[in-house]
């Protein structure tokens, strides 16, 4: 459209102008292709991997039971990844989520001796406080998010160990408490954690795409200074972002505890890396400013489907899985960086 | 505030020594001093490499996994002689640094993400190499390196001091050192000023990995065992803290060698103090987290001023 107008203004396109517009058109097409791959790539790979899995393993993989299992396994990572998506779009990073999940699980099991209310309120209150600390230190004090959340990673894990007698005590949740239903109950055949995670994705999607808050998060990730100059409440929005991330990790920990009727202080190690990987695979840029919740959903499901398939093979060691996920993350990030550079050209 | 940020680490060191002299029995003994100076070595060596990386405004989260790889390689190649084993371990670590550096310098991936990928992948690789097992290492030379003394000074401490001297000279006296600081101070300006940015970044990450691998070898020699699932766990955090507490800002453009060593020693003594006063591991972690936050907070004040 622009190119056409310019051509008219110049009273007949000259050959070099024509060549230039061709180049521009090609660059444009390449940019929109790159954008499409970045947006929908995870979904595409997910579809391909799922179909391949069904073809190779048949009903061992593609049974309703197994697919529901994958959904349930995805729900805990999913909750954490929703929060991480906002933090990364907002230009930050939250490394404390894995430790917070463990802390929440331990506190939920510990709090369950005071009934269902204690089992829910205690972990969420503590995780909320730590999330608030993350938020205030990064947003108000202007400290680097990765070092703040690295420190709270250490702190939360320390607290989880302190509560559980250096990990020697594993608190159990009474099977008769209502809180157990959060982990083990089901509604219309779908387990509660899956429903909770689904709700989190829905709310996250609405907030990110349909509210002023979501727009502000993207603006801050794009350019914090510009967002501030436009009068956006940068500090408040960022604080809320870390608070939400910590609370979602807390909810995930609570669900894990309810699912396993106990709280263990050693779970969730490296979960932050999985969450970051899921977010990045879903097309959210690590540089902040743009991304999508639906992409994150595809990323989470993709990671879990791959995990499930590796388990179906059954001969690969956990160490190889570690190598594969590290390499996978790096490949995705390299491709993402390449694609976003294509768009800018 | 600025003055405290500059000299705080030395004040902290003085304070913790004074506290221990008064409250900790058997603190002022030669054996204890030797122990502290031995235990600080891995963190100190890793922190020196980290200081260079942070000087370029980067970060290297993969150092602990590099230590694990080096540690896993030592027993595998010990059959060819201890010299070969050490060289292979350090070259293996350097290769991880090449991957890190290439991703950051040429593919222009953010350092935190690139090294995060290697943190996961390299640890996995180390475990694959060692088949997930702890291997005991019996070798007279390694034992000598790990627990020997020269003129009453532990050999590992001498190694750390030598590394500090070399890194100090590199930072202060060489063009490379100038490049490092220039890149951290202003990457765009250094490109315009003709600094070979990609090459310098690559070298910095290789150097950091080589030092981490050296720390892995030292650790293996000292423990007389290679345990890739534990060696270097969370050492990136201690190293970053030592660097930052020592007065190197996370925003780059400056490298402090003495401060980094003092920062490492400060953390060593805080840990030792907590342990000798019967605080548990979990409490130590929480205290460490608070100190990290306080140190970075004070840094920030200076950055703003």
pLDDT at A3 over 50: no
Measure the CA–CA gap between B253 and A159, rounded to whole angstroms: 35
Q: Do A329 and B297 touch (CB under 8 A)?
A: no
Cross-chain Cβ contact B285/A157 below 8 Å = yes
Tell which A residues from 191 to 230 touch B, by Cβ distance under 8 Å: none
Q: Which residues of A fall within a CB distance of 8 Å from B59?
A: 146
Min CA distance, B81 vs chain A (Å)?
A: 28
Q: How far is CA A89 from CA A32, A217, A282, A285, A305, in A?
A: 20, 7, 12, 7, 25
* Coil vs helix vs strand at A14: coil
More confident residue, A316 or B239: B239
Nearest CA of chain B to the CA of A212: how many Å?
Answer: 29
Chain A residues lying within 8 Å of B296, measured CB to CB: 143-144, 147-148, 151
Question: Cβ contacts (< 8 Å) between B297 and chain A: which residues?
Answer: 137, 141, 143
Would you call B234 and A326 a contact, using CB atoms and an 8 Å cutoff? no
- A146 in contact with chain B, both atoms CB, cutoff 8 A: yes
- Helices B30-39, B41-55: inter-axial angle, 10-degree rounding: 40
Quick one: average pLDDT of A227-256?
93
* pLDDT at res. A71: 92
Name the average pLDDT for chain B.
85
Instruction: Select the residue of A159, A287, A330 nearest B103 (Cβ to Cβ).
Output: A330
pLDDT digits (tens, 9 = 90+) for B218-250: 999 888 888 888 888 778 888 988 888 888 887
What is the ipTM score, two decimals? 0.75
- A334 at the B interface (CB within 8 A)? yes
**Arithmetic mean of pLDDT, B259-287:** 84
Q: How confident is residue A83, by pLDDT bands cut at 50, 70 and 90?
A: very high
Count of alpha carbons within 13 Å of A2, Cβ hemisphere only?
A: 6
Question: How many angstroms from the chain centroid is the CA of residue B143?
Answer: 22
Task: Assign B304 to helix, strand or coil.
Answer: helix
Query: In this predicted model, which residue has the larger pLDDT, A171 or B45?
Result: B45
Tokens, residue B45: 């060596």
Of B110, B282, B290, the CB nearest to A161: B282
Residues paired with B149 in a beta bridge: B154
Q: Which residues of A253-275 are buried (b: 16+ CB within 10 A; e: fewer)?
A: bbbbbbbbbbbbbebbeebbbbb
Of the candidates A137, A99, A103, A239, the one whose C-alpha atom is nearest the C-alpha of residue B290 is A137
- pLDDT of A8: 39
Question: Other C-beta atoms within 10 Å of A210: how many?
Answer: 10
Nearest CA in chain B to A280: B113
State the residue for tokens 């689904």: A198
> Which pLDDT tens digit goes with each residue over B1-21?
556 656 777 877 888 888 888
B289/A148 touch (CB, cutoff 8 Å), yes or no: no
Alpha-carbon span B47 to B74, nearest angstrom: 22
Query: What average pLDDT score do residues A276-301 get?
Result: 87
Range A211-233 average pLDDT: 90
Interacting residues of B296 by C-beta distance below 8 A, sequence separation 6+: A143, A144, A147, A148, A151, B244, B250
Q: Report CA torsion sign: B179, B184, B190, B191.
A: positive
Checking if the pLDDT of A7 tops 50, the result is no
CB contacts of A141 in chain B (<8 Å) are 297, 300
Are A166 and B286 a contacting pair at CB < 8 A?
no
CB-closest option in B109, B120, B250 to A333: B109
Q: 3-class DSSP state for residue B154?
A: strand
Residues of A in contact with B108 (CB under 8 A): 337
A interface mutation test: which of B293, B300, B304 has the most A CBs within 10 A?
B293
Residues whose CB falls within 8 Å of the CB of residue A248, separated by 6 or more in sequence, listed in order: A79, A80, A82, A83, A97, A200
Q: Does the beta-carbon distance from B283 to A322 stay under 8 Å?
A: no
HEC readout, B58-121: CCCCCHHHHHHHHHHHHHHHHHHCHHHHHHHHHHHHHHHHHHHHHHHHCCCCCHHHHHHHHHHH
Model confidence at B51, in pLDDT bands (50, 70, 90)?
very high
**Shortest Cα distance, chain B CAs vs residue A137, angstroms:** 8
Of A43-57, A185-199, A242-256, minimum mean pLDDT range: A43-57
Answer yes or no: do B121 and A323 touch at CB < 8 A: yes
Residue A12 banded pLDDT, cuts 50, 70, 90: very low
Q: What is the pTM of this model?
A: 0.80
Residues of B in Cβ contact (< 8 Å) with A146? 59, 112
For residue A251, the model assigns a pLDDT of: 96
Dihedral sign computed on CA atoms, order A142, A143, A148, A150: positive
% of chain A beyond a pLDDT of 90: 36
**Interchain pair B250, A148: CB under 8 A:** no
Half-sphere exposure of A210 (CA within 13 A, CB side): 6
- Which positions in chain A touch B228 (Cβ < 8 Å)? none
Q: Which of A142, A155, A322 sits opposite B289 (nearest CB)?
A: A155
**Which residues share a beta bridge with A186?**
A191
Cα(A250)–Cα(A159) distance, integer angstroms: 14
Tell me how close the Cα of A281 comes to any Cα of chain B, in angstroms. Answer: 13
A183: exposed, middle or buried (C-beta count within 10 Å: 0-12, 13-18, 19+)? buried
User: Is any Cβ of chain A less than 8 angstroms from the Cβ of B124?
Assistant: yes
| Residue A187: strand pairing partners | A190
* DSSP one-letter code for B132: T
3-state DSSP assignment of residue A140:
coil
Measured distance CA(A276)–CA(B97) in Å, rounded = 22
State how far the Cα of B15 lies from the Cα of B260, in Å rounded to an integer: 17
- Residues from chain A that touch B123, judged by Cβ atoms under 8 A, are 322
B51 vs B59: CA distance, rounded Å: 9
Of A93, A330, A337, nearest to B108 by CB-CB distance is: A337
Identify each DSSP E strand in chain B by its residue range: 135-136, 149-150, 153-154, 225-226
Residue of A144, A154, A41, A137 whose CA lies nearest to A102: A154
Residue (of A278, A235, A218) closest to A80 by Cα position: A278
Closest residue to B292, CB basis, from A142, A151, A338: A151
DSSP label of A152: H
pLDDT digits (tens, 9 = 90+) for A122-162: 999 999 999 999 999 999 888 888 889 988 998 999 999 99
């Amino acid at each position: 459209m622009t190119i056409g107008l310019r051509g008219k203004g110049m009273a007949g396109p000259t050959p070099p102008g024509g060549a230039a517009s061709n180049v521009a058109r090609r660059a444009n097409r390449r940019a929109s292709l790159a954008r499409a791959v970045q947006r929908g790539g995870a979904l595409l790979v997910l579809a391909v991997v799922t179909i391949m899995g069904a073809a190779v393993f048949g009903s061992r993989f593609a049974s309703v039971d197994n697919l529901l299992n994958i959904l349930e396994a995805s729900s805990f990572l999913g909750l954490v990844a929703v929060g991480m998506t906002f933090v990364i779009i907002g230009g930050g990073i939250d490394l404390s989520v894995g430790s917070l999940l463990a802390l929440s699980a331990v506190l939920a099991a510990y709090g369950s001796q005071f009934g269902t209310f204690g089992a829910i309120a205690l972990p969420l209150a503590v995780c909320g406080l730590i999330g608030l600390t993350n938020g205030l230190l990064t947003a108000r004090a202007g400290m680097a998010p990765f070092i703040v959340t690295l420190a709270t990673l250490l702190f939360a894990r320390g607290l989880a160990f302190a509560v559980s007698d250096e990990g020697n005590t594993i608190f159990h949740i009474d099977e008769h408490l209502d809180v157990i239903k959060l982990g083990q109950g089901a509604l219309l055949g779908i387990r509660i954690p899956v429903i909770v995670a689904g709700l989190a994705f829905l709310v996250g999607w609405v907030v990110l795409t349909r509210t002023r808050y979501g727009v502000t998060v993207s603006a801050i990730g794009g350019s914090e200074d510009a967002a501030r100059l436009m009068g956006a409440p940068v500090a408040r929005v960022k604080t809320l972002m870390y608070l939400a991330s910590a609370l979602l990790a807390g909810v995930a920990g609570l669900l894990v505890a309810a699912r396993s009727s106990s709280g263990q202080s050693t779970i969730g190690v490296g979960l932050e890396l999985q969450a970051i990987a899921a977010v990045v695979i879903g097309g959210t840029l690590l540089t902040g400013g743009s991304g999508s919740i639906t992409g994150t959903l595809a990323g989470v499901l993709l990671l879990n489907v791959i995990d499930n398939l590796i388990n179906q093979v059954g001969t690969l060691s956990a160490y190889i899985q570690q190598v594969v996920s590290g390499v996978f993350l790096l490949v995705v990030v390299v491709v993402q960086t390449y694609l976003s550079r294509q768009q800018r050209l | 505030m600025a003055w405290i940020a500059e000299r705080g680490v030395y004040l902290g060191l003085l304070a913790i020594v004074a506290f221990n002299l008064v409250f900790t029995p058997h603190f002022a003994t030669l054996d204890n001093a030797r122990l502290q100076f031995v235990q600080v070595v891995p963190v100190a060596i890793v922190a020196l490499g980290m200081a260079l990386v942070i000087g370029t405004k980067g970060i290297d989260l993969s150092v602990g996994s590099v230590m694990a790889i080096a540690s896993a390689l030592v027993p595998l190649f010990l059959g060819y002689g201890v010299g070969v084993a050490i060289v292979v371990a350090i070259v293996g670590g350097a290769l991880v640094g090449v991957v890190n550096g290439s991703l950051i310098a040429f593919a222009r991936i953010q350092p935190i993400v690139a090294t995060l990928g290697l943190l996961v992948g390299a640890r996995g690789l180390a475990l694959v190499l060692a088949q997930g097992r702890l291997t005991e290492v019996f070798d007279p030379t390694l034992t000598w390196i790990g627990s020997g003394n020269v003129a009453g000074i532990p050999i590992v401490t001498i190694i750390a001091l030598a590394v500090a001297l070399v890194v100090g000279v590199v930072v202060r006296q060489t063009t490379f050192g100038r490049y490092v600081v220039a890149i951290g101070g202003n990457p765009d300006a250094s490109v315009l000023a003709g600094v070979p940015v990609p090459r310098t970044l690559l070298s910095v990450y290789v150097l950091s990995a080589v030092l981490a691998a050296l720390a892995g070898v030292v650790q293996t020699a000292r423990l007389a065992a290679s345990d890739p699932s534990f060696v270097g766990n969370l050492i990136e955090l201690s190293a970053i803290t030592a660097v930052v507490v020592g007065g190197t800002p996370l925003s780059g453009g400056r490298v402090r060698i003495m401060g980094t060593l003092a920062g490492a020693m400060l953390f060593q003594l805080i840990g030792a103090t907590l342990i000798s006063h019967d605080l548990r591991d979990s409490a130590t972690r929480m205290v460490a987290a608070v100190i990290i936050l306080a140190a970075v907070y004070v840094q920030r004040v200076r950055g703003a001023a």
